[in-house]
Amino acid sequence: MKDTGYDQYAAILPKRASGYQQELAGVVNAPYLDMALPYAAGSLYSTVEDLYKWDQALYTDKLVPNDLKQKLFTPNLENYGYGWDIRTIPADEPGAGQTMISHGGGINGFNTIEQRLVGDHDLIVIFNNTPGTNLGEIAKGIRATLYGQEPATPKRSLVHDLGETLVNRGVDAAVAQYRELKRTNPNGYNFDERALNQLGYLLLEKGRNADAIAIFKLNVEEYPKSGNVYDSLAEAYAKDGQKQQAISNYRKSIELDPKNQNAADKLKELEQK
């Protein structure tokens, strides 16, 4: 593995990729991050080819003895082993019934996913340096190709289009655009809850609390059974100083998702104040 190592900013790495992140008006360079800070949680660099070598070696005793591999790839905490998500691919997805061992990650300007299809010794690795990309859907499309199925047509992210509208015409126009796109082009865009959530947090980072609240409220309207969207709306209300609204939405989030420890902690903090 000649293109893998612990990253240091001063090192010259041929063909080193640059990372980008989404802003409301478009894409910008991701902020600099000293790789001494994330350490083992994100400071390694590699290539698809090198990770394939690593993956294939895991089927031998070169790296890890069999007794330790059994521990490594045994799900103990729900579907989680030692650093790996281990599950059976569900019936409605390509490769149904196969054991898939996977891990994803993200850091400033980058996100990644690796899926090991251990029955066939196949490996899917995706490295991405652009924002808002759903790597899980891309990986699902690759699995479809591997198993002779037609992959789903990729869907465009809402964040870019709605972000431009927010900058140029305001939040009401963006909400109207969302509704119109969903009515006229429901299959062309990815309308899952993450798109509006990402947009809302971009607004929060800019201090546009009222606009963020409007976007998060739209997400609650679209996904009323998701605890996560209430959690985000509560966070926006709290940042805007609307304490009772924040408490109400954190309570709703916990009602829908009792395991939401973040909401429980924030609720306790607000109620103590």
Taking only the tens place, the pLDDT of each residue in 201-238 is 999 999 999 999 999 999 999 999 999 999 999 999 99
**pLDDT score, position 215:** 97
> Could you give the percent of the chain with pLDDT greater than 90?
79
Each residue of 138-174: b (16+ CB within 10 Å) or e?
bbbbbbbeebeeeeeeebebbbbebbebbeeeebeeb
> Could you give the percent of the chain with pLDDT greater than 70?
100
Could you count the other beta carbons within 10 Å of the beta carbon of residue 266? 21
Question: CATH number for the domain including 230?
Answer: 1.25.40.10
Q: What is the CA radius of gyration of the chain?
A: 21
pLDDT digits 0-9 by tens, 118-162 = 999 999 999 999 877 889 999 999 999 999 999 988 888 899 899
**pLDDT score, position 157:** 86
28 strand-pairing partners:
21
Question: CATH number for the domain including 123?
Answer: 3.40.710.10
Q: Are residues 195 and 104 in the same domain?
A: no
Compute φ and ψ for 93, nearest 5 degrees.
-120, 155
What is the C-alpha separation between 222 and 194, in angstroms, rounded? 11
256 is written with which tokens? Answer: 């829908």
* Better pLDDT: 53 or 24: 53
pTM for this model (two decimals): 0.81
Q: With cut-offs at 50, 70 and 90, classify the pLDDT of residue 273.
A: confident
What is the C-alpha separation between 6 and 10, in angstroms, rounded? 12
Q: Are residues 19 and 106 in the same domain?
A: yes
What is the C-alpha separation between 190 and 24, in angstroms, rounded? 17
Q: What does the mean pLDDT of the chain come to?
A: 93
What is the C-alpha separation between 118 and 95, in angstroms, rounded? 11
**Residue 33 is part of which domain span?**
5-146
Count of domains observed in the chain? 2
Distances in Å between the alpha carbon of 225 and those of 102, 182, 219, 244, 255?
A: 27, 19, 11, 21, 10
Q: Are residues 15 and 88 in the same domain?
A: yes
Q: Are residues 142 and 12 in the same domain?
A: yes
Q: Are residues 141 and 22 in the same domain?
A: yes
Is 230 within a domain?
yes
What is the C-alpha separation between 132 and 106, in angstroms, rounded? 11
What is the C-alpha separation between 90 and 68, in angstroms, rounded? 27
Q: Are residues 138 and 204 in the same domain?
A: no
Q: Are residues 84 and 186 in the same domain?
A: no
Q: Are residues 141 and 210 in the same domain?
A: no
Q: With cut-offs at 50, 70 and 90, classify the pLDDT of residue 22.
A: confident
* Residue that terminates a domain, selected from 87, 115, 146: 146
Is 223 within a domain?
yes
Q: Are residues 48 and 94 in the same domain?
A: yes
Q: Are residues 13 and 113 in the same domain?
A: yes
Q: Are residues 9 and 132 in the same domain?
A: yes
Q: Are residues 84 and 167 in the same domain?
A: no
Could you count the other beta carbons within 10 Å of the beta carbon of residue 75? 14
